[in-house]
């Protein structure tokens, strides 16, 4: 029988989380550190596909200290601010080794509980005593985190701890400063276990998806990390390609112009690099620009029906400030153009608010091939290459005859025609060139198809020429 109620009532419901936009291209893969002590301490060096905010917080925890926990920054940017998914996360912060001992605490119970003073407490390390006697977890006390991420020791009424007993507590806390660039880079051990950035190689075999952007927020300022991102981006499962979105190390920059020399010395000149300079500010919080750039690229791709031929430049960053080395920066047009002209991406305060500004990959100006230097064209090229590999995979090991050639051509041409029809491509055609398919190659089973395509390039500049029409003045004066 239901509870009898008589009168006027109200209930407050939990905040509804806004849905995310899903995309199949320019998906982001992120390696970083998470407050994993708040959830499953064993979620270390595991590839996890995330689709919403609740799932991300449940599996990786959340803490506003983005300097310590770069994956918390990513959770906020991707799921709360830009609301895009899916996103692949890898946490490398390991409570088993990235830790330190907290100072022992002796506390009096308040309402049958004690709140530990230090953040980052590792549950599995907690030892609770009364005097010199160890107490038993889940029999004498329980452990849980409060809304401020402090660990709470709650005394259980059925246990042996008395209300007047003082609790002596030893524990360890996470220490993100012990995480190294090598932890982020990861690798494959002698047992075949993948870790760090190397786990991006598991996206396709595990989830049948390919990431388009690889990032390691803050950590990519380390050249060894940026190189690891690039090497994996250019050889996903040996044959697929993506982009490495990295943050430039500005620690040695005195003026904005120094960034060009720093970029060159770091060897950041590959067309599969998108190089960011400076940090972004939103509501007083500092963010790594690479995180925002990846989210912007993924969102504009989703809004373009999953086809990545839109440039992130001049798209809103949804911020209210921009910094280099902790100093507020307002670049004028000439300064911004100089940095953009050297393959750097930044933020400017435009008439439409703060926007991403920079439409060139890192290879510019040394490489003048449009398929390499235009970010949108490079993204489109990546997508077409990867899609062709996937589309032709079912045809591997078929008999080479005319029917086989026509079957592959027909499949790819139908796909290209659809992209042209939906105005994603200007043109697209597939052919079986004779000069690429000589007898010795066919005998070896090697078949080559040629895909020609044209996609729209980025309107990098718009010039309106204004002229004074003298003839019209003459006509007026002659009337």
Q: What is the DSSP string of 16-33?
A: PPPP-EE-SSSEEEEEE-
What's the pLDDT band for 469 if we cut at 50, 70, 90?
Answer: confident
Apex 402 CA angle, 398 and 406, nearest 5:
85
Structure-block tokens of residue 338? 């100089």
Pairing status of strand 243-247 against strand 211-215? parallel
Pairing status of strand 166-170 against strand 127-130? antiparallel
Q: Is the pLDDT of residue 8 over 80?
A: no
Alpha carbon distance 39, 123 (integer Å): 10
Average pLDDT over residues 22-41: 91
Instruction: Map out the domains of the chain with their CATH numbers.
Output: 21-93+179-370 (3.40.50.11780), 99-174 (no CATH), 397-479 (no CATH)
Q: What is the DSSP letter of 81?
A: I
Check if the beta carbon of residue 289 is closer than 8 Å to that of residue 275.
no
Give the closest residue to 275 by CA, choosing from 197, 363, 212, 144: 363
Q: Which residue has the higher pLDDT, 22 or 320?
A: 320
Structure-block tokens of residue 80? 């709360």
Backbone angles phi and psi of 92, in degrees to 5: -110, -5
Q: For tokens 């050297």, name the residue.
A: 342
Q: Is the pLDDT of residue 160 over 50?
A: yes
Check if the beta carbon of residue 45 is closer than 8 Å to that of residue 186.
yes
Pairing status of strand 113-115 against strand 151-155? antiparallel
State the first-to-last Cα distance of the chain, in angstroms, to the nearest integer.
96
Alpha carbon distance 75, 83 (integer Å): 10
Alpha carbon distance 435, 369 (integer Å): 25
217-237, pLDDT tens digit by residue? 999 999 999 999 999 999 999
64-86, pLDDT tens digit by residue? 999 999 999 999 999 999 999 99
Alpha carbon distance 225, 179 (integer Å): 13
Alpha carbon distance 52, 17 (integer Å): 9
Burial class from Cβ neighbours inside 10 Å (0-12, 13-18, 19+) for residue 152 reads middle
Cis peptide leading into residue 343 (ω within 30°): no
Cis peptide leading into residue 210 (ω within 30°): no
Alpha carbon distance 50, 298 (integer Å): 14
What's the pLDDT band for 342 if we cut at 50, 70, 90?
Answer: very high
Burial class from Cβ neighbours inside 10 Å (0-12, 13-18, 19+) for residue 334 reads exposed
Q: For tokens 């029988």, name the residue.
A: 1
Give the closest residue to 183 by CA, choosing from 196, 194, 192, 193: 196
Give the closest residue to 68 by CA, choosing from 156, 177, 154: 177
325-336, pLDDT tens digit by residue? 999 999 999 999
Backbone angles phi and psi of 405, in degrees to 5: -60, -45
Q: Is the pLDDT of residue 28 over 50?
A: yes
103-124, pLDDT tens digit by residue? 999 999 999 999 999 999 999 9
Question: Positive or negative CA dihedral for 170, 175, 179, 184?
Answer: positive
Alpha carbon distance 368, 320 (integer Å): 34
- Average pLDDT of every residue of the chain: 93
Pairing status of strand 279-282 against strand 273-276? unpaired
Question: Positive or negative CA dihedral for 184, 187, 189, 191?
Answer: positive
Q: Is the pLDDT of residue 17 over 50?
A: no
Q: What is the DSSP letter of 15?
A: P
Alpha carbon distance 56, 87 (integer Å): 10
Report the percent of the chain where pLDDT is more than 90. Answer: 90
Q: Which residues contact 352 (CB under 8 A, 6 or more apart)?
A: 314, 316
Give the closest residue to 25 by CA, choosing from 205, 240, 188: 240
Q: Which residues contact 294 (CB under 8 A, 6 or more apart)?
A: 28, 30, 213, 215, 245
3-state percent helix, strand, coil for the chain, nearest multiple of 5: 30, 25, 45
Check if the beta carbon of residue 136 is closer than 8 Å to that of residue 81.
no
Indicate the range of 23-27, 90-94, 178-182, 393-397 predicted with least confidence. 23-27
H-only helix segments in 341-374: 370-373
274-300, pLDDT tens digit by residue? 999 999 999 999 999 999 999 999 999
Largest CA distance in the chain: 110
Alpha carbon distance 208, 87 (integer Å): 14
Give the closest residue to 20 by CA, choosing from 51, 49, 48, 50: 51
Torsion of Cα atoms, 248 then 250 then 256 then 262, to 10° = -70
pLDDT of amino acid 4: 59
Alpha carbon distance 69, 174 (integer Å): 11
Average pLDDT over residues 359-377: 95
Average pLDDT over residues 250-272: 94
What's the pLDDT band for 475 if we cut at 50, 70, 90?
Answer: confident
pLDDT of amino acid 472: 82
385-434, pLDDT tens digit by residue? 999 999 999 999 999 999 999 999 999 999 999 999 999 999 999 999 99
**Predicted TM-score of the model (pTM):** 0.91
pLDDT of amino acid 322: 97
């Amino acid at each position: 029988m239901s509870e009898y109620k008589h009168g006027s009532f109200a209930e407050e419901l939990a905040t509804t989380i806004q849905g995310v936009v899903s995309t199949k291209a320019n998906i982001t893969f992120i390696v970083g550190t998470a407050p994993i002590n708040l959830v499953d301490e064993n979620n270390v060096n595991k590839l996890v596909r995330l689709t919403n905010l609740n799932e991300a917080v449940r599996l990786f925890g959340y803490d506003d200290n983005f300097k310590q926990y770069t994956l918390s920054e990513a959770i906020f940017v991707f799921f709360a601010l830009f609301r895009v998914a899916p996103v692949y996360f890898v946490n490398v912060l390991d409570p088993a080794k990235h830790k330190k001992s907290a100072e022992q605490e002796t506390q009096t119970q308040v309402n049958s509980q004690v709140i530990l003073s230090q953040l980052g407490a590792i549950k599995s390390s907690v030892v609770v005593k009364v005097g010199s006697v160890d107490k038993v977890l889940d029999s004498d006390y329980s452990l849980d985190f409060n809304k401020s991420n402090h660990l709470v020791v709650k005394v259980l009424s059925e246990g042996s701890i008395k209300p007047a007993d003082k609790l002596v507590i030893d524990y360890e806390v996470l220490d993100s400063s012990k995480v190294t660039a090598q932890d982020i880079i990861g690798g494959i051990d002698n047992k075949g276990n993948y870790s760090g950035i190397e786990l991006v190689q598991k996206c396709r075999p595990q989830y049948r998806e390919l990431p388009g952007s690889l990032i390691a927020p803050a950590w990519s300022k380390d050249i060894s990390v940026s190189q690891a991102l690039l090497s994996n981006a250019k050889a996903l499962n040996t044959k697929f390609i993506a982009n490495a979105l990295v943050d430039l190390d500005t620690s040695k920059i005195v003026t904005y112009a120094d960034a060009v020399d720093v970029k060159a010395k770091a060897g950041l000149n590959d067309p599969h690099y998108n190089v960011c300079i400076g940090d972004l500010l939103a509501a007083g919080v500092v963010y790594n620009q690479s995180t925002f750039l990846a989210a912007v690229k993924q969102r504009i791709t989703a809004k373009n029906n999953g086809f990545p031929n839109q440039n992130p430049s001049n798209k809103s960053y949804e911020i209210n400030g921009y910094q280099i080395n902790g100093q507020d920066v307002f670049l004028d047009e000439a300064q911004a153009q100089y940095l953009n002209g050297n393959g750097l991406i930044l933020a400017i305060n435009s008439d439409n608010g703060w926007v991403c500004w920079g439409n060139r990959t890192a290879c510019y100006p040394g490489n003048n091939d449009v398929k390499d230097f235009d970010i949108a064209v490079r993204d489109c090229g990546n997508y077409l290459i990867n899609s062709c590999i996937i589309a032709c995979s079912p045809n591997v090991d078929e008999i080479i005859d005319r029917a086989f050639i026509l079957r592959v051509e027909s499949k790819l041409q139908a796909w290209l025609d659809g992209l042209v029809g939906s105005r994603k491509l200007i043109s697209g055609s597939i052919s079986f060139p004779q000069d690429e398919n000589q007898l010795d190659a066919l005998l070896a089973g090697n078949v080559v198809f040629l895909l020609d395509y044209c996609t729209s390039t980025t309107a990098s500049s718009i010039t309106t020429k204004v002229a004074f029409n003298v003839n019209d003045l003459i006509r007026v004066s002659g009337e």
